[in-house]
Amino acid sequence: MGQRRPAPQLRVLHLHSGFDPGGKEMRAVQLMNAFGPRLAHSIVSAVPGALGAAAMIDPALTVDFPDDFPSLTGRPWPRRLQALARAMQGHDLVLTYNWGAMDAVLAHSAFRQVLNLPPLVHHEDGFNQDEADRLKPRRNLYRRLALHRTDALVVPSRRLEEIARTVWHQPAARVQRIPNGIPVFAYGRKPRRDALPRVIKHPGELWLGTLAGLRAVKNLPRLVRAFAPLPEQWQLVILGEGPERDAIRAEAIRLKVGHRVHLPGHVARPADVMGLFDLFALSSDSEQFPISVVEAMATRLAIAAPQVGDVAAMVAAENRPLLCAPGDEAGLAATLARLAGDPALRQAIGAANRARAEAEYDEAAMVSAYARLYAGVLGRTSLP
């Protein structure tokens, strides 16, 4: 009796606006690792060379990064769109992410039938600095046109769900809201004082921490300014990498707090180090459903943040009164001062945030929801 042949792998094509570490990228890696070796992945970044999140992919998976894939950026001329569409052939499922992949979504919609293209699911996680205050009407129209033949549009937040339905005019059946999740029970341990590279937590220090890509939309110089008046024992630790590193450092030096502001870089496993924080802060101009907030909640931290995206709905009821209005730098500074001076309040809010994270945001529910969605568009009852 011959040996049974293994079932062929499902071939998944990922088209990203960028694949350096960030919220959507780390969620994509989470899902790839959770789905296991029965799926094979090809990953394309709209930004050449921006593939830093690849380091977190399970090496047991079949993954490639094609360097001959047509550019995801450029003028949406018919010949270019046709080339993008042809490059999608040979895959079983196409997953696209954010505005940077929208030309590929349009190409799929335009040529899906004639080229017999595989199903496509688009993921929208938020907006860059150029749409932080107001969505661009021409982009809204483009999204409406591009998305009209997708199999599903996935969003993590209630705000994005509303935008998808009312601004981009997507039918309710197409829009799927799946909140981001994390392995909650991996968070909350007390790490060693030297768990971070280049930074050691000394006795008597208190750490205000954040986790973010160092991009303009995160407005981390605002956080430096809000932090600066805190007492000397408080240190600001910003985990992440990106183009705004020099601007953050320059603001800290200008305010004479450079010795208390630390940028140790990207951390592959936040659960291993966030227990060093005593307080968490967010200073973004725009967010939707920031994974870093869920990670802070799981770490039993109180959160100082503006009410951007779904943040107010995410945190525990005890934390909500301490959130400030979007763009309110003085309000953020006042919240930091209040929480920094009241350890009992920090502890009580942190405990409530942990309980909410356990109840609402564990990754098992997220992985199951994505597995059902992807299997459904493939006409299957489950993924392999």
Summarised one tens digit per residue, pLDDT across range 42-100 is 999 999 999 999 999 999 999 999 999 999 999 999 999 999 999 999 999 999 999 99
Per the prediction, the chain carries an average pLDDT of 94
Q: Is the pLDDT of residue 6 over 60?
A: no
On whether the CB atoms of residues 304 and 336 are closer than 8 A, the answer is yes
Q: Is the pLDDT of residue 131 over 80?
A: no
For residue 133, the enclosing domain spans 10-181+363-377
Residue 286's nearest CA partner among 140, 158, 157, 131 is 131
Q: Is the pLDDT of residue 8 over 70?
A: no
Tell me the pairing of strands 152-155 and 279-281. unpaired
Residue 382, in any domain of the structure: no
Does residue 57 sit in the same domain as residue 121? Answer: yes
Does residue 221 sit in the same domain as residue 353? Answer: yes
**Range of weakest confidence among 82-91, 98-107, 189-198, 256-265:** 189-198
Does residue 171 sit in the same domain as residue 237? Answer: no
Query: How would residue 132 be classed by pLDDT, with cut points 50, 70 and 90?
Result: low
Does residue 245 sit in the same domain as residue 303? Answer: yes
Q: Is the pLDDT of residue 5 over 90?
A: no
Query: How would residue 9 be classed by pLDDT, with cut points 50, 70 and 90?
Result: confident
Residue 298's nearest CA partner among 189, 162, 205, 167 is 189
Q: What's the pLDDT score for residue 130?
A: 75
Query: How would residue 7 be classed by pLDDT, with cut points 50, 70 and 90?
Result: low
pLDDT over 70, % of the chain: 97
Residue 347, in any domain of the structure: yes
Domain count, the chain: 2
Mean pLDDT across 17-28: 91
Q: What's the pLDDT score for residue 3?
A: 54
Does residue 230 sit in the same domain as residue 189? Answer: yes
Contacts 24+ apart (CB under 8 A), 291-295: 291/23, 291/26, 291/27, 291/180, 291/182, 292/23, 292/210, 292/211, 292/212, 294/180, 294/181, 294/182, 294/357, 294/361, 295/182, 295/187, 295/211, 295/270, 295/271
- Angstrom distance (rounded) from CA 322 to CA 352: 14
Does residue 258 sit in the same domain as residue 150? Answer: no
On whether the CB atoms of residues 96 and 87 are closer than 8 A, the answer is no
Mean pLDDT across 334-351: 98
Does residue 168 sit in the same domain as residue 195? Answer: no
Does residue 327 sit in the same domain as residue 207? Answer: yes
For residue 91, what are its two tokens?
A: 């895959």
Environment class of residue 1 by beta-carbon count within 10 Å: exposed (0-12), middle (13-18) or buried (19+)? exposed
Does residue 368 sit in the same domain as residue 338? Answer: no
Q: What's the pLDDT score for residue 21?
A: 86
Q: Is the pLDDT of residue 320 over 80?
A: yes
Does residue 162 sit in the same domain as residue 216? Answer: no
Residue 4, in any domain of the structure: no
Query: How would residue 1 be classed by pLDDT, with cut points 50, 70 and 90?
Result: very low
Name the pTM for this structure: 0.79
Does residue 169 sit in the same domain as residue 69? Answer: yes
| Domain harbouring 165, CATH code | 3.40.50.2000
Residue 5, in any domain of the structure: no
Does residue 55 sit in the same domain as residue 72? Answer: yes
